[in-house]
Amino acid sequence: MLNERTTSRIFQYGTRAFVLILATYLAVLHQIKGVLGAANAHVYCPFGGLESLYQFLAAGGYIPKIMPATMILLLVTVILAIVLNRAFCGWICPLGTLQMIFDRIGRFFRIKKIRVPDQVEKYLHYLKYVGLVIILYFSWKIGDLVYSPYDPWAAYAHIAAGFEELYVEFLIGSIFLLAALIGSLWLPNNFCRYFCPMGAILAILAKLSPTRIHRNADTCINCKRCDRVCPVQIEISTQPSVKTTECLSCGDCVAICPVENTLFYSIRGKIRIKWLVYGVATLVIFFGSVFVTQRLGIWKTSYSSASEALMDASGEKNPANIKGSLTLEVVSQEFNVPLDAFIRRFNLPVDVNPAAMLKDIAHPLNLETEDFRLFIEEYLEKGEAAVVTPTPEIETQPTTEQPAVEPAVPTPTETSTIAEETSAEQQLDIRGKTTIGELLNYGMSKEQFKEITRVDMPEDQAMLLKDFASANGLDMETLKEQLIKALQP
Ligand code: SF4
Ligand code: SF4
């Protein structure tokens, strides 16, 4: 028969594993289904609600990627901290669970834990409060999730998006993630202790909580096992109750204490709360709120339409809200930018699949979703002029990797087909602003080009024909005529 502590421990580990698996599943689902199919990881992070709080209170809206469900989770987490101290950290937070797993791996391999000198540890704790102030200041000022690129949880949630997206959007977050996990082999819960901004706000709120770990000095045998196991280096064995709100409510000390009922959760040291009851109460408050708000119809995690996903707080569609998981077709329709403009601007194949996600179109061509965002901004401002003046740093050469779309440069056999499909006006529309890439798309081979110009075709496909002509002392009009003649069937 399992005793109370073992049952509580199993229940706690089960809960943490369940939340971690659920959070991982939801994050992967978002990568597969895209922004309209499944909510992004920020929606389920209460800290996103805190970043959106100013916007919410001032304008009744949300910063991009945040939904009503995030605000509900924030409210529930605040209530949890006030009632049950840092139960969110000890029972729910999946990043805390990941660190706990690495801590246990370290223990399994008998890796000696680092004990930071108490004075240093005390000051290191302040780092997260400084971080919290900076993040909130910029989030509220800019109206965006400024912490996201540095957030190890956001990095974890985007692992399924692939290395490229992690590298481009979450490089620092990935470094923090690796440091938090690998570091936990020696320094348990190091991210919680020193850097987590959510932990900082919960520690502040937990000061209001009547719930603490208490120690019965009469039965304590002063073995100090609790001190040694505590992941935040709290000296429990010398005090009647754990006053510091750096305590993660993880229960490790309760689990290890050899004398039953010597360490326990309690309300102001007067009412003892069984560990299992503490866990059940945590789950009831947290998941019960989700259930109730779902039934009330106010729990909302994803966008009902692309238009909604693209809107900012003012109700305007904003290219900055374009996600790589939106399709080319959707983006084209929502911003009234013709598909053809994308094809010409990025030298996409004429038969590019409009139902493909932007990130899947972009990556094989060494592009980023950001390139599409910038182009749309430019197109909305300049119209067609944005199509013929590509951003110089954008390289549109396909990589050697097998692309999700057909290569931009047609093979000789494809040339005639594409040339036939391309309108006569397009075929002959060779001007000074025509790019080398467009010539390739029209079917011009490098050999033909060299035969006409006596110069190798430039590698830079964004180069304008007029710049090429002037750099090589060629008459633009003559060159234009020769190129048109060579392209005619
Ligand atoms: S005092 Fe106990 S419950 Fe709090 S962090 Fe340390 S081991 Fe966990
Ligand atoms: S583990 Fe229990 S008995 Fe040992 S010092 Fe801590 S409270 Fe006392």
> 107-111, 190-194, 455-459: which range is least confident on average?
455-459
Confidence check: pLDDT of 262 > 50:
yes
Cα(476)–Cα(40) distance, integer angstroms: 51
Q: Residue 91 CA: which ligand is closest?
A: 1
Confidence check: pLDDT of 439 > 50:
yes
- 424's tokens: 């006569």
Of 60 and 50, the one with more pLDDT: 50
Confidence check: pLDDT of 420 > 70:
no
Residue 182 Cβ < 6 Å to ligand 2: no
Q: What are phi and psi of 299, to 5 degrees?
A: -80, 110
Residues whose CB is less than 8 angstroms from the CB of residue 163 and which lie 6 or more positions away in sequence, other chains included: none
Helix locations, 91-147, DSSP H: 94-108, 118-142
Question: Can you give the pLDDT at residue 398?
Answer: 46
Number of other residues whose CB lies within 10 A of the CB of residue 205: 19
Residue nearest to atom 4 of ligand 1 (CA): 247
Give the dihedral of Cα atoms 273, 274, 277, 278; nearest 10 deg: 60
Cα(342)–Cα(371) distance, integer angstroms: 11
**Percent of the chain having pLDDT more than 70?**
89
Confidence check: pLDDT of 38 > 80:
no
Q: Which whole number is the average pLDDT over 42-52? A: 86
Please report, as a single letter, which amino acid is at residue 430: I
User: At how many degrees (to 10) do helices 275-296 and 68-84 cross?
Assistant: 150
Residue 352 Cβ < 6 Å to ligand 2: no
Cα(183)–Cα(189) distance, integer angstroms: 8
Question: Can you give the pLDDT at residue 388?
Answer: 65
CA distances 285 to 21, 72, 82, 219, 291, Å, are: 20, 12, 12, 33, 10
Residue 489 CB-density burial (10 A; 0-12 exposed, 13-18 middle, 19+ buried): exposed
Helix (H, G, I), strand (E, B) or coil at 176: helix
Q: Which whole number is the average pLDDT over 270-299? A: 94
Cα(473)–Cα(361) distance, integer angstroms: 37
Question: Can you give the pLDDT at residue 314?
Answer: 66
Rounded to the nearest whole angstrom, what is the distance from the C-alpha of residue 226 to the centroid of ligand 1?
A: 8
Helix locations, 34-117, DSSP H: 46-51, 53-59, 68-84, 87, 94-108
Question: Can you give the pLDDT at residue 200?
Answer: 96
Predicted TM-score (pTM) of the model is 0.69
The answer to whether 239 and 245 have CB atoms below 8 angstroms apart is: no
Q: Which whole number is the average pLDDT over 269-292? A: 94
Q: What are phi and psi of 415, to 5 degrees?
A: -55, -50
Look-up of token digits 């947290």 = 286
Mutate to test the pocket of ligand 2, among 238, 262, 266 (most ligand atoms within 8 A of CB): 262
Q: Which whole number is the average pLDDT over 167-184? A: 93
Q: What are phi and psi of 275, to 5 degrees?
A: -55, -45
pLDDT category, 283, cuts 50, 70, 90? very high
Cα(338)–Cα(386) distance, integer angstroms: 12
Residue 253 Cβ < 6 Å to ligand 1: yes
Q: Residue 254 CA: which ligand is closest?
A: 1
Residue 30 Cβ < 6 Å to ligand 2: no
Residue 212's DSSP bridge partners are 266
Cα(444)–Cα(38) distance, integer angstroms: 44
